[in-house]
Amino acid sequence: MGKTKKQQKPQVKKTSSSKIKTKLDGVGQKQTSDGNGAGWSKSKKKKMRKLKAKLLFQSQSDRDSKDDEKTFVEATASADTAIEDVAPLKEESNKKPKSKLMDLLKNRLSGGRFRELNEVLYTSSSTDAYEKFSNEPALFEQYHVGFRNQIKSWPVNPVDVIYKWLLKLPEEKNRKIVIADFGCGDAQLAKNLQNNHRFHVHSFDLVSHDNPLVTACDMSNVPLSRSCVDVGVFSLALMGTNIADFIREAHRVLRTGGILKIAEVRSRFEAPSTNQPKGKTKKGCTLLDDFMKVMERLGFVREKLDRTNKLFFLMEFKRLDVKPDDSAAFTAKACTYKRR
């Protein structure tokens, strides 16, 4: 059998726009010379109309294609320029909100952790708190990170008030004024006074966290000898269920006539009294009234009570030469937080 030729696809010749224009002109001239094709047969007229329509369509397609290509190139170039101009701004604008968002999230986490640890300190004895934070010192650092963030929003820091008061004390002859800072935190008081030759500060807290100014210990049992301190300080440090033990320890280390300065959150002491006899509760009696009575039983007399600050009380007591009552007890209102 002879070889069968493979069927070839009909090739469509691409016609340039100039050739199309020539053909269109030729068709138009032919129609004009023949009186609009008057001498043509019907089939020829039909054929010529199709040819003209085809040529017109192809010509329009070529023009559209060129216009589209030109528009695409211009649009692409414009878009590239716009992207180059906007990209640095977008990158810069993205950095700032991201940084602010991260800071906000960190502060919220830090604040939440601070509140949890704060509640632990309020509702535990000093012995239990000392053991817990000694075993996990990182927790105490987390607590103080939250505390530092919190005090930024305070109109005044009680430590600063006590520091200014100390500077006004008369100078002791031939010796320094000895201060015991109970629950010192970052030992800000010692930092402020470390270059002042008039003072010597002992700073105590549950964890020293590598701070050479801080001695880690239980606030009810500090490593000082009896009657060696001129001024005792509790700045937002009466935390725990055994506050009376802290005061007894302050009485032990203070000299007779020594001063005890206490700064505390007002809301913890303005709550209603919990120590009134049943059926004999005095209207308006608060935990502050209970605290003053306990301080007398523990060998102190009140010298001053400053209520000018909306957030804090600032109290000043003098140490008497009397033995503290071992049975006296006091617990302020704990700051507890709702779980969400």
Nearest to 120 by CA among 91, 100, 142: 142
Task: Enter the pTM of the model.
Answer: 0.66
Residue 179 in 3-state DSSP?
Answer: strand
- The pairing of strands 177-182 and 312-319 is unpaired
Residue 50 is predicted with a pLDDT of 73
Computed over its alpha carbons, how large is the radius of gyration of the chain? 45
Identify whether the C-beta of residue 291 lies closer than 8 Å to the C-beta of residue 330. yes
Residue 208 is predicted with a pLDDT of 92
Query: Under CATH, domain 123-319 is a member of which superfamily?
Result: Vaccinia Virus protein VP39 (3.40.50.150)
CA 293 to chain centre: 41
Total residues belonging to the chain: 340
For the four alpha carbons of 330, 332, 333 and 335, in that order, the dihedral sign comes to negative
Q: How many CB atoms lie within 10 A of CB 155?
A: 7
Residue 83 is predicted with a pLDDT of 43
258 burial via Cβ count (<10 Å: 0-12, 13-18, 19+) = buried
| pLDDT beneath 50: ranges in the chain | 1-3, 5, 9-10, 12, 14, 32-33, 72-73, 75-76, 79-80, 82-87, 89-91, 93, 96, 105
Identify whether the C-beta of residue 296 lies closer than 8 Å to the C-beta of residue 244. no
**Which residue ranges make up each domain of the chain?**
21-27+45-108, 123-319
